[in-house]
Amino acid sequence: MSDGPLIVQSDKTLLLEVDHPDAQACRMAIAPFAELERSPEHVHTYRLTPLGLWNARAAGHDAEGVVDSLIKFSRYPVPHGLLVDVAETMDRYGRLQLVNDPSHGLVLRGLDRIVLVEVAKSKKLAGMLGARIDDETIAVHPSERGRLKQALLKLGWPAEDLAGYVDGEAHEIDLAEDGWTLRSYQQEAVDGFWAGGSGVVVLPCGAGKTLVGAAAMATAKATTLILVTNTVAGRQWKRELIARTSLTEEEIGEYSGERKEIRAVTIATYQVLTSRRGGAFTHLDLFGARDWGLVIYDEVHLLPAPIFRFTADLQARRRLGLTATLVREDGREGDVFSLIGPKRYDAPWKDIEAQGWIAPAECVEVRVTLTDAERMAYAVTESEERYRVAATARTKLPVVRALVDKHAGEQVLVIGGYIDQLHQLGEYLDAPIIQGSTTNKERERLFDAFRSGELRTLVLSKVGNFSIDLPEAAVAIQVSGTFGSRQEEAQRLGRVLRPKGDGRQAHFYTVVSRDTIDTEYAAHRQRFLAEQGYAYTIVDADDILGPALPQID
């Protein structure tokens, strides 16, 4: 027995003692292949899953390295059966390969002939496979490349895609040389992506994912389709590309609800691509409008289902997914793996913070005691409405104002998920609101006023979850959200992580209603950030308000 921080159990759970001196080193070692499930104060629970192990394998980690990490940090002998299972699970990746055969085109090749026989008999692959060429090779209909990878993943035999990519229409793109260079981790991310041809780069909010995208474009030197969450994010991409590359404004088109420009580099919103008319997706033909050499999916963790379906047909194009977290609340991480590509680069948030590229952050959960009237309203509410009632309690309002006052002089974002609550907050704080119905022109005006310091406080709906560049935002106050969404929590913290000019710390507050489902969802939301090494301090609202409770008008 050693004194390691980790307990490895035969049910594939890993228990990490948070206060152990080697806990951080252990967390870094297991992060590439283990997923955090629960993160209470002293012991965090991780789980080994096939997808996590296959992602690690695709990123260049081998079973020997995974086993060595488990043995090195484990306090007790690691169950032998688990080590065998890890090795065998990782060995399943790549025993089937998709390759381009000079004589037969796209084929499925089996490094293990019996596995090839097994999957070929599956009804789930009906219509995807062509004729058997020999004992080790089966023809594949080129149009089924993506769907075949999805199906093989579900059968437990993820294929390694070595079929290569078309170059697409060439278009000269270079990085600008005036006053900036890629950071070392950004270059590593580009190199990792390009070596694999397609896949996902995971970097913290504020760490420069757009610059990784720009560098990938400069490497591809081809026409590029960039998919973004909304028009504001798209215009931020355009500004960055003009500033950081040789591209001019005339070379970059916007394909949104307002404009329909198709140019050598086209930036399109997920919303317009997934909009329907007469039940049909009328804009999906954008994917075939040009001979794209690269497709970039910004915030790939939010990818809508129709885009997944069309991406299945884009497997010959290089595809780059960018995100701060691969967590998807709908459980479709496997589809990201199959259709966009495996994780090619993943930088721990605390690593980037230690290098000074994102701001250090203090995370605080402020617990509010509801009034008797609010408690009764919660008690008699139907279960499906209870989170809304708890999350939007008016008792939160003076707490939010006290936090804003505590950080007077700093740039503060107040973020929530319910429009009525946001209007209450806007009136209570005398602050403008940005929500889904706010025009793009008004959004950009308010964001510019916030960036310049003319506005100190801004109230945001879910639009604040996405790619918004507000470098001097130093404080975020979260009052409600999408239930227990871990990805949303990461995105919201990311709004304040861009490094500040004076190096000061960022602050991230979550205001929750005590003794309600609000606290349960808050705990679930925090899981991803706990995996990244962020600890939440829990304080009582009275500690923020002081002994005299403000009255709510």
What's the confidence (pLDDT) of residue 467? Answer: 59
Q: How far apart are CA 542 and CA 367, in angstroms?
A: 9
What CATH class does 184-352 carry? alpha beta
Name, in order, each residue with C-beta under 8 angstroms of 374's C-beta and a sequence gap of 6 or more: 389, 393, 394, 395, 513
Give the burial class of 305: count Cβ atoms within 10 A of its Cβ; 0-12 exposed, 13-18 middle, 19 or more buried.
Answer: exposed
Q: Is the pLDDT of residue 553 over 50?
A: no
In terms of DSSP bridges, do strands 160-161 and 199-202 run parallel, antiparallel, or are they unpaired?
A: unpaired
Calculate what percentage of the chain has a pLDDT beyond 90. 58
Greatest distance between any 2 Cα atoms in the chain: 81
What's the confidence (pLDDT) of residue 125? Answer: 92
Residue 69's Cβ-side half-sphere holds a number of Cα atoms within 13 Å equal to 20
Tens digits of per-residue pLDDT, 390-443? Answer: 999 999 999 999 999 999 989 999 999 899 999 999 999 999 999 888 888 898
Residue 216 CA to its chain's centroid (Å): 19
Band (pLDDT 50/70/90 cuts) for residue 165 is: very high
Q: How far apart are CA 509 and CA 56, in angstroms?
A: 33
Q: Is the pLDDT of residue 40 over 70?
A: no
Handedness of CA 486, 487, 488, 494 (dihedral sign): positive
Q: Is the pLDDT of residue 82 over 50?
A: yes
Residue 156 CA to its chain's centroid (Å): 24
Q: What is the dihedral of CA 433, 437, 441, 443, to 10 degrees?
A: 30
Tell me phi and psi for residue 143, to 5 degrees: -70, -10
In terms of DSSP bridges, do strands 433-434 and 536-540 run parallel, antiparallel, or are they unpaired?
A: unpaired
Band (pLDDT 50/70/90 cuts) for residue 551 is: very low
What's the confidence (pLDDT) of residue 498? Answer: 82
What beta strand segments (E) does 315-375 contain?
318-323, 343-346, 361-368
Q: What is the 3-state secondary structure (H, E, C) of 434-473?
A: ECCCCCHHHHHHHHHHHHHCCCCEEEECHHHHCCCCCCCE
What's the confidence (pLDDT) of residue 448? Answer: 87
Tens digits of per-residue pLDDT, 485-535? Answer: 777 888 888 888 887 777 788 899 999 999 999 998 888 888 778 777 787
DSSP state, residue 153: H
What's the confidence (pLDDT) of residue 171? Answer: 97
Domain spanning 359-545: CATH superfamily: P-loop containing nucleotide triphosphate hydrolases (3.40.50.300)
Determine the residue type at 128.
Answer: M
Mean pLDDT in residue range 124-134: 91
Q: Where are the domains of the chain?
A: 6-92, 96-161, 184-352, 359-545
Structure tokens given for 342: 């495996």
Residue 244 CA to its chain's centroid (Å): 24
Determine the residue type at 200.
Answer: V
What's the confidence (pLDDT) of residue 513? Answer: 95
CA distance readout (Å), 72 to 10, 52, 53, 96, 319: 17, 20, 18, 32, 36
DSSP state, residue 10: T
Structure tokens given for 366: 């402020």
What's the confidence (pLDDT) of residue 279? Answer: 77
Best CA proximity match to 220, nearest among 295, 166, 294, 317: 294
Q: How many helices (H) and strands (E) does the chain have?
A: 22, 25
What's the confidence (pLDDT) of residue 222? Answer: 97
Band (pLDDT 50/70/90 cuts) for residue 59 is: confident
What's the confidence (pLDDT) of residue 327? Answer: 75
DSSP structure string for 292-329: -SEEEEETGGG--HHHHHHHTT-TTSEEEEEES----T
Q: Please give the mean pLDDT across all residues of the chain.
A: 89
Best CA proximity match to 490, nearest among 315, 373, 328, 344: 328
What's the confidence (pLDDT) of residue 466? Answer: 66
Q: What is the pTM of this model?
A: 0.84
Tens digits of per-residue pLDDT, 258-300? Answer: 889 999 999 999 888 888 887 778 888 888 889 999 999 998 8
CA distance readout (Å), 368 to 48, 75, 518: 36, 39, 10
Q: How far apart are CA 427 and CA 431, in angstroms?
A: 7
Mean pLDDT in residue range 524-552: 75
Best CA proximity match to 532, nearest among 27, 53, 29: 27
Which residue's structure tokens are 């679930």?
524
CATH topology match: 184-352 vs 359-545: yes
Name, in order, each residue with C-beta under 8 angstroms of 165's C-beta and a sequence gap of 6 or more: 197, 198, 316, 317, 318
CA distance readout (Å), 270 to 217, 225, 289, 306, 426: 20, 12, 16, 9, 28
Band (pLDDT 50/70/90 cuts) for residue 41 is: low
